[in-house]
Structure formats: C-alpha cells, structure tokens
Structure 1
Amino acid sequence: MDAHAWDERYAGREPVWSVEPNQFVARECTDLASEPRRAVDLAAGEGRNAIWLARQGWEVTAVDFSRTGLEKGRQLAGDARVEWVHADATTWRGTGYGLAVVCYLQLPAAERAAAVRNAFDALVPGGTFLLVAHDSSNLLDGTGGPQDPAVLMSAEDVLADLVGKDFDVVRAGRVERLVAVPDEHGGASERTAYDCLVRLTRR
C-alpha cells in the first residue's frame, strides 16, 4: 500500500486505529530509563504511540509517509509536543535518539530491513530499539492482520535484518494479543492474534 492509499484510508474523521498506545509499546516503554529522552516513532501513522510517549515526557519525532495521517496526528495530539515529519521509513535518517519504535510496519523483506536498520542506526549507544509487528504465524494460528505472508515477519527475521550491528537482546519472540471479533449474534468474542516483539539495546 503506497502513501496515496494510506492518505485515503486516513481521510475519514474518525481515527483508523485506537487513540490508545499499542499495549506492547506501553508495557515496554513505561519507566524506560533510556537516555537521552528523545524518541522516534517510525511509520507513526496517526501518532497514537508518539502522542503517548510525548505525554510520558519524551521528546518525540513521528515519521510517516502519509501527510494525512500526520495531520490527523497533529489534531489528536492536543498539547502533547511531537515533531511531525513527512518521510518514508525506508529512506529516513536520524541520529541521537534514546528510543526507536517501529509498530506494525508490514513491508516485504528488503524494505522492512531498510526501515529496521534506519531505526536502529538512529539510536545512541545504550538506546532502545522496539519493534512490534504481525507475526508470520498469525496467518494460520491467529486472527486478523495482513493475509499476505510476504509482509509478515518473525522475531528471527528482524534480528537477521540487523546482522552486523552491535546490540543486546532484551526480548525477541512471539507474543499474544486478544482481539474482539464480531460473532453471528451481533456480539463479540475474543480471539488471539500473534505478534512478534523485538526489544534490543544498542551497544
């Protein structure tokens, strides 16, 4: 899906995603002691994670290739201080960050690797890299998410993207996420979706 398609998707008045941060971003970043307190949210979309991080005291850069998504993020941010940057995650470059977040950026392998390396390279030594994405196993074992295996990934794939980089693995594996799925009676039931989560510390 290209930037124009995402602009169209974000064009509605209501947020496409929840205004709350991703549960794993909130879990992993609450009380995170990374310094400096500068964070980049790469492929930020409407900025839900960037806005949350700003409200936790981070100086945040939100990067996305959809101008419409970024504009909606500005509107949702209120008084949260976020720098909104129009750029593609696969070509953006930055430095001096204590935290880099990549959340549900589902791309084919070569493009994913470029974005993953850009996020990691933006970190200072001691900085935290955090990626959350739809796991490859979700296609058969879970629910929802992209149905194209080419844009799904495992934690092992992400670690392979960073071969040659120097880091310590804090956490890398598959995590479960409960989602509400409508049923035939007009209600909803909970089903399990599977994500990959990779948290690293740059040496």
Structure 2
Amino acid sequence: MDAAEWDARYADTDLVWSRGPNAFVEAECSALPPGRAVDLACGEGRNAIWLASRGWDVTAVDFSQVALDKGRQLAGDRSAGGSVDWVCADATAWRGEGYDLAVVAYFQVPATDRRTAVRHVVESLRPGGTLVWVGHDSTNLAEGTGGPQDPRVLMTAEDLLADLEGIAVDVQRAERVARVVTTADGHGAEAERTAWDCFLRLRRA
C-alpha cells in the first residue's frame, strides 16, 4: 500500500492500531532511561506517545499525514514530560543521527525496502543506542494467525541480522516470539490463538 492508500485506511476508522504501546516495545523499553528516540513507521503514534509520556523526546515518522494528524490529536497532554515531533516521511528514505533508541513495530515491506530501512535506522543510533524491532514472522503464515498473507513482506530475526551485514552491532535478542490474540471462532464465541512475530533487540557498537 502506498501513502494515499494508508491515508484512506486511517481516515476510514477511529483507530487502526491500539491506543496503548505494543507489548514487546513496552516490556523492552520500560527500564531504559529516557533520551532521544525515533518511532519509525509510527502509524497513529501509540509507541511514540507512550515513550514521550515516560520522558523521551521522540521523532515519530510515517508517510501517512492522516495517521500523524491522528497521533497528534491522540497525544493531547499525555506526552507531558517528553515531546513528539511528527515527521511525514518515507520510512525507507528517512535518515537521522544521535538517537538513543529506535523502535520499529510491524513495518511490513518487501525485503529490499526492509533492508534499506533497518540499515538507516541503526545508523541513526549513537554508539550504544538500542534498536527494538518487532514484525510479523515468516512462519506466522503457516503456523500462526492474522497478519499479512503476502510472504514477501514477512521476515525473521535472521533476515534482519543479514540485512545489517557490515554494521557493528551487539545483538541482545534475535528470535521468534509468540503473541496471543483473541479472535472470533465463527460461532459467536471468542478463541485465543497464537500469532508469531520476529523480535530483534540490539545495541549499536
């Protein structure tokens, strides 16, 4: 989907994503001391807003202006303590520097674009800065539930590490992780099912 299609999707619904932060982002970032962060492909800014509420100064990047406008409205005064700078830009082309933290959640694009984006975002970190990346894992297509059904935009943690060849990093976690989701079972009841995500946490060396 291009920016116009995402604009339409964000305009057609109250919230595409949840109001609260991604569970993996929250778990991995809660203990980090606040500094400068980038939330790449931020959507409506749920992770950026949460980080700002914890004192981070966040650059929230997305190519959908509609999503960014919604994020700015959602933030209200909840970002007290930190700040959010809403930047309309293509996540594969955005470049920055000197960040303490980079968060990327469910940025599902073909491998060439993914490789460009992950290299740029790691290069935006200061030495010692942290990347937290979570995405729909390639195995979710056959073994999990939900998520994109196009294998070209799925990935593994190993794919991401291969994308970063030549960049010095200290890998802290690189694995497949389970995420429990509640779905309708077709008979008016709800059922819990497992979705599989890839997860990568590293520090720039």
Q: RMSD over aligned Cα, in angstroms?
A: 0.9
Q: How far is the alpha carbon of 1:13 from its aligned partner?
A: 5.0
For the 8 Å contact 1:89–1:118, the answer to whether it is kept is: no
Q: 2:94 aligns with which of 89, 92, 96?
A: 92
2:41 matched residue in structure 1: 43
2:31 matched residue in structure 1: 31
- The answer to whether 1:16 aligns with 2:28 is no
For the 8 Å contact 1:133–1:197, the answer to whether it is kept is: yes
For the 8 Å contact 1:182–1:189, the answer to whether it is kept is: yes
Q: How far is the alpha carbon of 1:187 from its aligned partner?
A: 2.0
Question: How is 1:81-160 mapped onto 2 (pairs within 5 angstroms)?
Answer: 81-160=83-162
- The answer to whether 1:167 aligns with 2:165 is no
Tell me the percent identity.
63
In structure 2, distance between residues paired with 1:148 and 1:185:
27
In structure 1, distance between residues paired with 2:12 and 2:135:
24
TM-score normalised over the length of structure 2: 0.96
Residue type of the partner of 1:99?
L
For the 8 Å contact 1:44–1:62, the answer to whether it is kept is: yes
Q: How far is the alpha carbon of 1:185 from its aligned partner?
A: 2.5
Q: Structure 1 residue runs of 4+, over 2 Å off?
A: none
Q: How far is the alpha carbon of 1:32 from its aligned partner?
A: 1.3
- The answer to whether 1:69 aligns with 2:67 is yes
SS at match of 1:160: helix
Residue type of the partner of 1:27?
A
SS at match of 1:101: strand
Q: How far is the alpha carbon of 1:12 from its aligned partner?
A: 3.0
In structure 2, distance between residues paired with 1:68 and 1:187:
34
- The answer to whether 1:191 aligns with 2:198 is no
Provide, for residues 35-61 of structure 1, a one-character-per-residue CA deviation record: whole Å limited to 9, x for no partner.
7x0000000000000000101111001
Residue type of the partner of 1:55?
S
Q: How far is the alpha carbon of 1:108 from its aligned partner?
A: 0.4
Provide, for residues 86-109 of structure 1, a one-character-per-residue CA deviation record: whole Å limited to 9, x for no partner.
000110010110000111000100
Can you give the 5+ residue segments of structure 2 that lack an aligned partner in the other structure?
Answer: none
SS at match of 1:194: strand
Provide, for residues 108-139 of structure 1, a one-character-per-residue CA deviation record: whole Å limited to 9, x for no partner.
00000011011101100000011100000000
SS at match of 1:7: helix
1:4 matched residue in structure 2: 4
In structure 2, distance between residues paired with 1:70 and 1:140:
33
SS at match of 2:100: strand
SS at match of 1:4: helix
TM-score normalised over the length of structure 1: 0.97
In structure 2, distance between residues paired with 1:23 and 1:66:
23
How many residue pairs get aligned? The number is 201
Q: Which deviates more, 82-91 or 180-189?
A: 180-189
In structure 1, distance between residues paired with 2:141 and 2:54:
34
